[in-house]
Amino acid sequence: MIIAIDGPAGSGKSTAAKIIAQRLNFRYIDTGAMYRAVALSAQRKNADLHDLDIIAKIAEKLDIQLIPQAEGQQVLADGEDVTALLKNETVGAGAAIVAAQPKVREVLIAKQRELGKKGGVVMDGRDIGTVVFPNAEFKFFMEANPEERGRRRYLELKEKNPSANLEEIIEQVKRRDHEDRNRKISPLVMAEDGMLLDTTRFNPNEVVEQILEIIEKK
Ligand code: C5P
């Protein structure tokens, strides 16, 4: 069984996906981390993120390992633990640029399909229910208003960076969403048979309960 959870940044998908995976004893896979790992690697090499050939080569060569952990997932890029480095918004913005490139998506989607082929996974991203696993048993699409999504990202980022600025983060989140929703390849859209959950007014546990109830009913 595959549970696909898609939605924009700050919609609460990874928090919910992690808890659901724990509750069902499934593996949690955060696909955004893969796009972030490619972006980080390119940024460290001072590569032009818009250069399709260079970025394609980086994506093809980079060995990305997702190691399941109690509190989520550890990410190894060419053997180095980059988990903490992936979380900042500079890497997030870079991820949105490389994620719009066909070769990068081809390489990463192949890895995602490999990871999910045996089932028993909760996978979160932007195109899991539409492209990666269009036959997933469950497809959830999470939304929340942009101000609330920015506020959630701000609270996460502020722990590491006390000078994080709320207004700036709301703007960054809106910009990244706009790019994700309007790109030509695998844009962020809800699958036709997806289930929409607006999480604006719900805390993570309430969202998890709604999802588990839907899964149990089926
Ligand atoms: O989910 P996260 O914020 O870590 O994703 C970072 C970026 O990676 C997104 O803004 C999006 O551009 C890209 N992404 C994607 N497809 C996925 C997961 C992430 O295009 N399945």
Domains in the chain: ranges and CATH: 2-209 (3.40.50.300)
Distance 35 CA to ligand 1 centre (A): 6
- With a 6 Å cutoff on the Cβ, whether 13 touches ligand 1 is no
What is the average pLDDT across 168-195?
94
- With a 6 Å cutoff on the Cβ, whether 31 touches ligand 1 is yes
SS3 category, 175? helix
From 2, 121, 126, 127, mutation site for ligand 1 pocket: most ligand atoms within 8 A of C-beta: 126
**Looking at this protein, which amino acid is placed at residue 200?**
T
Cα 202 from Cα 12, distance rounded (Å): 10
What is the atom index within ligand 1 of the atom nearest the CA of 112?
21
Nearest CA owner, ligand 1 atom 3: 9
Kindly list the distances between the CA atom of residue 65 and the CA atoms of 78, 80, 142, in Å, as whole numbers in the listed order.
8, 10, 26
Distance 118 CA to ligand 1 centre (A): 23
Query: What percent of the chain has a predicted confidence (pLDDT) above 70?
Result: 100
What is the average pLDDT across 182-188?
94
pLDDT in tens, 63-101: 999 999 988 899 999 999 999 999 988 999 999 999 999
- With a 6 Å cutoff on the Cβ, whether 92 touches ligand 1 is yes
For position 99, what pLDDT does the model report? Answer: 97
Closest CA to 22 of 211, 214, 217, 198: 211
Specify which residues 161 forms β-bridges with: none
pTM value? 0.96
The mean predicted confidence, pLDDT, of the chain is 95
